[in-house]
Chain A
Amino acid sequence: DTGVSQDPRHKITKRGQNVTFRCDPISEHNRLYWYRQTLGQGPEFLTYFQNEAQLEKSRLLSDRFSAERPKGSFSTLEIQRTEQGDSAMYLCASSREGLQPQHFGDGTRLSIL
């Protein structure tokens, strides 16, 4: 069990640029989740996958956000035309199916200049 890994750990970009983050879940976990966390707040759910199927998306996930998990293993989260309000920590988690705790990576911190 090597844990959930996220890349990059930090991303600084100019407003209007596109960014892509990667998440590698724990290998035997078929569920993968993306959350966003701002300072002082709890993680906010964005979307989740069961295997390669994206089963739920939050209203927070605007058209500029897209997530994929093409082979049911790693996932990418892309933000197009970034805005100041996108600055946050983006967390990925994975779990087994059912009532199971989620295991989080250490996140990608996005800063928009």
Chain B
Amino acid sequence: GESVGLHLPTLSVQEGDNSIINCAYSNSASDYFIWYKQESGKGPQFIIDIRSNMDKRQGQRVTVLLNKTVKHLSLQIAATQPGDSAVYFCAEMDAWNTNAGKSTFGDGTTLTVKP
């Protein structure tokens, strides 16, 4: 079936470095993508989103890149800080699906920031 997957389950970076977290998706009908951050004991927290008619979107210290040709999504975090340590999930939605509303999540990448 369709799924949203992440390339690496874990990523360790030095404080101050840039982080890149990758996600591959297989549903070509997906037209909305979201990155979430989940800290221990908490629910996922929205970071940034992108629609399929865009290939790049920037937020504060974060950038999402979308490559529809190879069905790949990435999250770039600039100047990574210890507070960025968490599990990061990508999720996708297919807005044209009847009664569309659910998000399909990958299994997450655990980011560890070393001081």
Contact = CB atoms under 8 A, between A and B. Distances in A.
Contacts of B46: 101-103
Given A91-B43, A99-B95, A101-B46, A40 B107 contact: yes
Contacts of B107: 40-42
Chain B interface size range = 20 to 34
B103 interface: yes
B31 A48 contact: no
Contact of A42 (B32, B45, B99, B106): B106
B109 to A, nearest CB: 10
A106 B41 contact: yes
A45 B102 contact: yes
B115 interface: no
A44 B91 CA distance: 11
Interface string B92-113: 0101000101111111100000
B49 A48 contact: no
Interface in A37-58: 40-45, 48, 50, 55-56, 58
B102 A33 contact: yes
B32 A99 contact: yes
Given A42-B105, A91-B43, A91-B44, A99 B99 contact: no
Chain A interface size range = 20 to 34
A99 B30 CA distance: 11
Contacts of A74: none
A98 interface: yes
A107 interface: yes
Residue among B34, B36, B41, B102 with max Cβ neighbours from chain A (10 Å):
B102
Given A42-B89, A104-B36, 11 more contacts: A33-B103, A41-B107, A43-B103, A43-B105, A45-B104, A50-B99, A91-B43, A99-B32, A99-B51, A104-B43, A106-B43
11 contacts: A42-B91, A42-B105, A42-B106, A42-B107, A42-B108, A44-B105, A101-B49, A102-B34, A106-B41, A106-B43, A107-B42
Interface of A: 4, 31, 33, 40-45, 48, 50, 55-56, 58, 91, 93, 95, 98-99, 101-107
